[in-house]
């Protein structure tokens, strides 16, 4: 690990003591059994983090509520100033944090840096937003009355996040929730606990330096049982949960049972449509990055390539040739394109998908398999694979969180491709590769893609923070990040003010005493 400067990064992030296996963390609440974090890069123990007990959780919620009571009265632009300071720290610590993300999660160092950059971008966005939490004014039907709406802080927001974006998803939520005046309690993935502690350390320091209560940013650690403490807790008006569809269904029901709000960012089954008018060079780059980037572990990873029969062989040959160039290995070594899967369970699911697609009649074009030998000791490195398949196969209908790309053929009109693209339960990201304006616009029209994200001439993965991010159908319907996604973190209030000596009723109702 020392080869790639991991120890130095851990020290810069205040996690120096994790190497000897002790619990660590500042201002987070965990007195339960320590959980070990092993790197998928080399299988080494990075450190241990103690988990949150029920008793700890009660302390957290009290501390968060106290934090909220102070934070909600601070003017939003001043809250923005705190987020700006937090962002300065992220800029300062971009490299060590990016490196830890890469080492603990397994994505390439470039993608680790990209993830921290995404945190920086959302903080910039949030700072500007802190002066733009606008409501509307309306014309009242009653004389001498004024109507308007305003947005107030919501309360203590619960954030549950997945392993694959161990830091960015937290910041998408917190940066907005903080300027909106909420306190946040974060349960990161149990697979990436150290990056969670690193982030919490940064936030805790900034709040402390400003004399603000620590409860504005809280961290709890552990598995789903710790997440459940929040989903069932009526003191948490909003739970934002990112992860699998399976998890989302459980969380949605638990939160709905107490009539809380949930913001769900769940799995995708994303496709790129390649029409006869596509630029093949860009299609190959977009599709390969989409399918193998983060080792196929992005919610927006390209799972299906829907190619017109006229260009099918050409696209197939070009993609297969591109896969031969891929270098798989230590993601901290910048000459490698593809790092490991997160753990051996993920490897088993990847192998299952390869077996299943053949059983269902698919044809493997690029062989998969687990890589062993020197440099691959963690057992988590796999070969990105491609199979020719059909959309209705059970395995194609599922999201396999690994680098398995399905090649599907369509013929005739674009409508047939759109039907295939929409013919899955998930609805996150989609793309079309075409230089034909009519095709592009049809894809974006009401009868086009049914996904939350629809791109033209770029791939399915790699969203910018300025737009609202999220998807339809089983992806959960939530929107985070840019546009007006902030509204979910606030409560809306409609105000009517009468400045006359009369009391006229709405709808002209007469009521005299
Ligand atoms: P996961 O569902 O296994 O876990 C996600 C988080 O939910 C973890 O923190 C976990 O502890 C928690 N959790 C699980 N069950 C819970 C329960 N019953 N109550 C409360 N919390 C619970 O997902 P994962 O393997 O970490 O991540 C991969 C999945 O996440 C993929 O399906 C991917 O598409 C999805 N994802 C979606 C987005 C998006 O924005 N749409 C972003 C990233 C990841």
Bridging pattern class, strands 34-38 and 45-50: antiparallel
Residue 192 CA to residue 36 CA, distance in Å, equals: 10
The C-alpha atoms of residue 265 and residue 243 are separated, in whole angstroms, by 7
Q: Which residues are catalytic?
A: 265, 299
Mean pLDDT of 266-273: 98
* Residue 9 backbone class (left: φ over 0; alpha: ψ -120 to 50; beta: rest): alpha
pLDDT at 1 over 50: no
Residue 477 in tokens? 């319907």
pLDDT for the residue numbered 28:
66
Give the position of tokens 């949605």. 252
Q: Which residues contact 246 (CB under 8 A, 6 or more apart)?
A: none
Distance CA 513, CA 500 (A): 18
Q: How many angstroms from the chain centroid is the CA of residue 199? A: 16
pLDDT tens, position by position, 109-142: 999 999 999 999 999 999 999 999 999 999 999 9
Binding site membership of 266 for ligand 1 (Cβ less than 6 Å): yes
pLDDT by residue (tens digit) across 346-381? 999 999 999 999 999 999 999 999 999 999 999 999
What percent of the chain has pLDDT above 70? 97
**Range from 21-30, 39-48, 107-116 carrying the lowest mean pLDDT:** 21-30
Give the whole-angstrom CA distance, residue 336 versus residue 384.
13
The DSSP symbol for 505 reads P
Q: What is the mean pLDDT of residues 385-414?
A: 98
Specify whether the CB–CB gap between 416 and 382 falls below 8 A. no
Whether 265 lines ligand 1, by a CB cut-off of 6 Å, is yes
ipTM: 0.97
Q: Is residue 312 predicted with pLDDT exceeding 50?
A: yes
Write out the H or E segment, with its range, that includes residue 467.
none
Cβ neighbours, 10 Å, residue 437: 10
Confidence of residue 168 (pLDDT cuts 50, 70, 90): very high
pLDDT of 21 above 50: no
pLDDT of residue 78 exceeding 70: yes
- Closest atom of ligand 1 to CA, residue 222: 11
Flag whether the pTM goes above 0.90.
Answer: yes
Residue nearest (by alpha carbon) to ligand 1 atom 20:
227
**What is the distance in A from the centroid of ligand 1 to the CA of 114?**
21
Q: State the closest ligand 1 atom to the C-alpha of 480, by its place in the atom list counted from 1.
A: 40
| Phi (first) and psi of residue 38, to 5 degrees | -105, 140
Secondary structure of residue 177 in the 3-state scheme: helix
Roughly how many angstroms between the first and final C-alpha of the chain, as a whole number?
Answer: 82
Query: Per the structure block, which two tokens stand in for 123?
Result: 């903080």
pLDDT tens digit sequence for 402-415 = 999 999 999 999 99
Walk across the sheet containing 404-410 and list its strands: 363-366, 385-388, 404-410, 302-308, 270-274, 429-433, 453-456
**Does 229 sit in the ligand 1 pocket, CB within 6 Å?**
no
Rounded CA gap, 496 and 512, in Å? 21
| pLDDT tens column, 283-306 | 999 999 999 999 999 999 999 999
Question: Which residue has a Cα nearest atom 12 of ligand 1?
Answer: 224
């Amino acid at each position: 690990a020392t080869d790639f400067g991991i120890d130095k990064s851990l020290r810069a992030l205040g996690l120096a003591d994790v190497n000897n296996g002790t619990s660590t963390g500042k201002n987070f609440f965990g007195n339960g059994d320590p959980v070990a974090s092993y790197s998928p890069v080399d299988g080494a123990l990075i450190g241990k983090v103690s988990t949150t007990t029920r008793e700890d959780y009660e302390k957290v919620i009290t501390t968060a509520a106290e934090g909220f009571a102070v934070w909600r009265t601070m003017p939003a632009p001043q809250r923005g100033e705190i987020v700006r300071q937090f962002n300065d720290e992220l800029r300062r610590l971009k490299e060590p944090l990016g490196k830890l993300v890469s080492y603990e999660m397994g994505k390439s160092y470039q993608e680790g840096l990209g993830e921290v950059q995404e945190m920086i971008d959302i903080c910039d966005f949030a700072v500007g937003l802190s002066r733009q939490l606008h409501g509307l004014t309306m014309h009242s039907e009653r004389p001498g009355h004024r109507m308007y709406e305003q947005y107030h802080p919501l309360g203590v927001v619960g954030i549950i996040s997945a392993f694959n974006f161990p830091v960015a998803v937290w910041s998408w939520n917190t940066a907005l929730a903080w300027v909106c005046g909420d306190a946040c309690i974060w349960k990161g993935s149990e697979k990436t606990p150290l990056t969670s502690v690193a982030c919490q350390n940064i936030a805790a320091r900034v709040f402390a330096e400003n004399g603000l209560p620590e409860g504005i940013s809280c961290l709890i650690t552990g598995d789903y049982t710790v997440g459940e403490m929040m989903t069932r807790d009526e003191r948490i008006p909003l739970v934002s949960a990112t992860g699998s569809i399976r998890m989302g269904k459980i969380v949605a029901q638990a939160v709905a049972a107490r009539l809380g709000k949930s913001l769900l960012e769940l799995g995708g089954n994303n496709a790129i449509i390649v029409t006869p008018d596509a630029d093949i060079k860009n299609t190959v780059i977009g599709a390969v990055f989409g399918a193998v980037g983060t080792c196929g572990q992005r919610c927006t990873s390209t799972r299906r390539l829907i190619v017109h029969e006229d260009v099918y062989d050409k696209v197939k040959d070009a993609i297969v040739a591109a896969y031969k160039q891929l270098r798989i290995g230590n993601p901290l070594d910048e000459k490698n394109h593809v790092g490991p899967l997160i753990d051996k369970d993920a490897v088993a699911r990847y192998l299952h998908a390869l077996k299943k697609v053949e059983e269902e009649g698919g044809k493997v074009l690029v062989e998969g398999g687990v890589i062993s030998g020197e440099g691959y000791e963690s057992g988590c490195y796999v070969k990105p694979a491609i199979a020719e398949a059909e959309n209705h196969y059970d395995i194609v209908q599922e999201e396999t969180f690994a680098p398995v790309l399905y090649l599907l053929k369509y013929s005739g009109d674009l409508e047939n491709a759109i039907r295939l693209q929409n013919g899955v339960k998930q609805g996150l990201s989609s793309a079309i590769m075409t230089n034909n304006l009519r095709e592009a616009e049809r894809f974006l029209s009401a009868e086009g893609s049914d996904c939350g994200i629809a791109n033209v001439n770029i791939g399915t993965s790699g969203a910018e923070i300025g737009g609202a991010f999220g998807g339809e159908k089983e992806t959960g319907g939530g929107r985070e990040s840019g546009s007006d996604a902030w509204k979910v973190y606030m409560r809306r209030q409609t105000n009517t003010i009468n400045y006359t000596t009369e009391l006229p009723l709405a709808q002209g109702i007469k009521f005299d005493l």
